[in-house]
Amino acid sequence: MDWFEPIYDYLSNRDLWAGLLIRTIKIIAILFGTWLFLRIAKSALGQVFAIRLRSPLRLSERREATLIRLIENILTYVVYFIALVMILSEFEVDVTTLIAGAGVVGLAVGFGAQNLVRDIITGFFIIFEKQFSVGDYVRISGIEGFVEEIGLRVTKIKSWTGELHILPNGNINQVTNYSIHNSIAVVDVSIAYEEQIQEAEEVIIELMDELYEKFDAMIVKPEYLGVQDLGPSEVVLRIISEVQPMEHWVIGREIRKAVKQRLDESGIEIPFPRVVMYQRDEQGEVKEKEKA
């Protein structure tokens, strides 16, 4: 029974059990503190986003859920890692080596996936700063279209002809968003040199009042600016109209249609290309012939 005495002495050591009890209490405290901290942090995060939703610069539900999930995951991983290091230190494990090894692995992953990391970070700030939203009409890297989807890694843009462009967020350096502020419809109308400019201006100005009453998308009454250009065979008159975002194409077409109809009713000619041909008859005389 000689082998039993050392074991009995070791197990009956009060300092051993006291140290083990203290260590167990510390580990339980670490686990409880980790759980409590994460619960409070996630609740605070939810409150922050709830306040942001009531502000004018609110996020869409999908982007809000994406941001909350992203931040919660990052927070959870960081807190759990800290808790693991603290627990290992209680078992007298050399955490310095562990942290150094994790740093080396993280550095290697960072070098190998730096483009991926850049895409994710850029995507995070695009969503958080609300640079553009799903449904906005934007121009990015020479590509114009409606934003179909915003992810943490890529952004999808659908052009008006149906092509879907997928852009890595890290390559988005400059964005032009057409959907935030009011748009301006610019319409140029040509009349023949033979027509009276003042008469055409009176017809157009009278028409602008009628169009403002007809279209709700117009923010203010369309404005006639005056003679914009003197072309080879026409005088160009310019009209502008401030409209709701992305309505300038529709309103521009409606203004052109209405102006054309009103000028026709008033007998004011809109010029069209003409070709003058000279032809000799049998007697050698030159005759002029105009062809549209």
Task: List the single range of 17-21, 100-104, 198-202, 269-273 with lowest mean pLDDT.
Answer: 100-104
Instruction: Assign a CATH topology to domain 4-112.
Output: Helix Hairpins (1.10.287)
CATH class, range 183-265: alpha beta
- C-beta contacts of 27-33 below 8 A and 24+ residues apart: 27/87, 27/90, 30/83, 30/86, 30/87, 30/90, 31/83, 33/83
Domain with CATH 1.10.287.1260 in the chain: 4-112
Amino acid, res. 214: K
Q: For residue range 150-204, list pLDDT tens digits in order.
A: 777 788 899 888 899 998 888 888 888 888 788 889 999 988 888 888 898 889 9
Closest listed residue to residue 205, CA positions, set 225, 235, 183, 230: 225
The beta-strand segments (E) located in 109-234 are: 137-140, 143-150, 154-158, 164-168, 175-177, 183-191, 223-230
> Selecting from 2.70.170.10, 2.30.30.60, 1.10.10.10, 3.30.2130.10, what CATH number does the domain 131-177 have?
2.30.30.60
Segment 63-87 shows an average pLDDT of 75
Q: For residue range 201-254, list pLDDT tens digits in order.
A: 889 988 988 888 888 889 888 889 888 888 888 899 999 999 988 888 889 999
